[in-house]
A and B are shown apart, each in its own frame.
Chain A
Amino acid sequence: MAKIVGIMTTSHVPALGRAIHLNLQQDPYWKPFFDGFPPIHEWLERVKPDIVVSCYNDHGLNFFLDKQPTFAIGTAPELISTDEGWGIPSMPSFPGAEDLAWHIRDSLIRDDFDMLTCQEMLVDHAFTLPMALMWPDQKWPVKSVPVCVNTVLFPLPSARRCFKMGEAIGRAIASFPEDAKVLVVGSGGLSHQLEGERAGFINKEFDLKFMDSMVNDPQWATQFSDLDLVEKTGNEGVELLNWLVARGTVAGPVKVVHSSFHIPISNTAAATMLLEPV
Chain B
Amino acid sequence: MTRPQKRTIPGAPIFDSDAARRGYALNKMCYSFNSKANRDEFVSDEVAYCKKFGLDEAQIKAITTRDVLGLISVGGGVYFLGKLAGGVLGLDMQDIGALQTGVTKEEFKAKLVAAGH
Contacts and interface: CB of A to CB of B under 8 A. Distances in A.
A199 B94 CA distance: 9
Nearest to B11: A198
A6 B105 CA distance: 39
Contacts of B16: 153-155
B53 interface: no
Contact of B97 (A84, A85, A200, A269): A200
The binding surface of chain B is classed by DSSP as helix
Contacts of A269: 115-116
A68 to B, nearest CB: 8
Interface residues of B, number: 48
A83 B34 contact: yes
A77 B89 CA distance: 35
Contacts, number: 141
A199 B82 contact: no
Interface string B58-86: 00000000001100100001111111001
A86 B112 contact: no
A197 B15 contact: no
Nearest to B18: A154
Contacts of A204: 115-116
Closest 5 CB pairs of A and B: A198-B11, A263-B116, A85-B83, A202-B115, A197-B11
Interface of A: 14-15, 59-61, 64-66, 82-87, 152-155, 193-202, 204, 227, 230-231, 234-236, 262-264, 266-267, 269
